A and B are shown apart, each in its own frame.
Chain A
Amino acid sequence: IAGITQAPTSQILAAGRRMTLRCTQDMRHNAMYWYRQDLGLGLRLIHYSNTAGTTGKGEVPDGYSVSRANTDDFPLTLASAVPSQTSVYFCASRDRDSGELFFGEGSRLTVL
């Protein structure tokens, strides 16, 4: 089934450690996004990429970095995790014609 694949599904991480959340899509969408979702705060955009080779900052980019070496992959890296980065992270891609966003099932990250 075509869609967004995220890994890992969940992870417990010690503060100060580096972590990369993986996101892969097989729909050949140009635009991809990373959101974090926290109780009471909804989905907040971290970083986005409109096409391979380009990235941009969203609403809450501090402490995160992304890369977009090709169309399919859009990894999110936490260089030095802090407890406030405990959250559920969603990757999404956008169909240019319909505007519909396709989401992965999320990566639940706990930083201790």
Chain B
Amino acid sequence: SQKIEQNSEALNIQEGKTATLTCNYTNYSPAYLQWYRQDPGRGPVFLLLIRENEKEKRKERLKVTFDTTLKQSLFHITASQPADSATYLCALRVPGGSYIPTFGRGTSLIVHP
């Protein structure tokens, strides 16, 4: 079965720095990969989607890369702000068959002022 690994340790960074979060997966090559943000007590909110034939996707201060050879996606937040503090989840879909979104356990990001 598909396994998704995200760093379970919280990432602490200083305001203004670039935060980089990692999502590794095994067994399959997903058709696409998504990143979500989750604040305490709230449901996850969609941020970005990157397809298997795309290397990089950007949205404002966010950038996602997708390396199907390494089976890895990197999620970057540039010029980080304390308001970026949240848990970030990656999710993927394997190609073909019934779409079953599978999530990693998430990485907590803490941006210190």
Q: Interface of A with B (CB < 8 Å)?
A: 4, 31, 33, 35, 40-43, 45, 48, 50, 56, 58, 90, 92, 94, 98-106
B103 within 8 A of A: yes
| B106 contacts A45, C-beta separation under 8 Å | no
> Interface majority SS on A: helix, strand, loop or mixed?
strand
Q: Is the CB of A102 within 8 A of B101?
A: no
Chain B 97-113 near chain A by CB (<8 Å), digits 1 or 0:
01111111110000000
Q: Is B44's CB under 8 angstroms from A42's CB?
A: no
Q: Which residues of chain A are within 8 angstroms of B45 by Cβ–Cβ distance?
A: 103
* Residue B49, interface by CB 8 Å: yes
Contacts across chains A and B counted by CB atoms under 8 Å: 55
Additional 10 contacts, C-beta under 8 A, given A42-B104, A92-B101? A40-B105, A42-B103, A42-B105, A45-B101, A48-B100, A50-B99, A58-B100, A94-B99, A99-B49, A106-B42
Interface residues of B (CB under 8 A from A): 8, 32, 34, 36, 41-46, 49, 89, 91, 93, 98-106
A31 and B101 CA atoms in complex are apart in Å by 11
Q: Verify A104–B49 contact, CB threshold 8 A.
A: no
Task: For the complex, give the distance between the alpha carbons of A43 and B102 in Å.
Answer: 8
Least CB distance from A40 to B in Å reads 7
Q: Is the CB of B46 within 8 A of A102?
A: yes
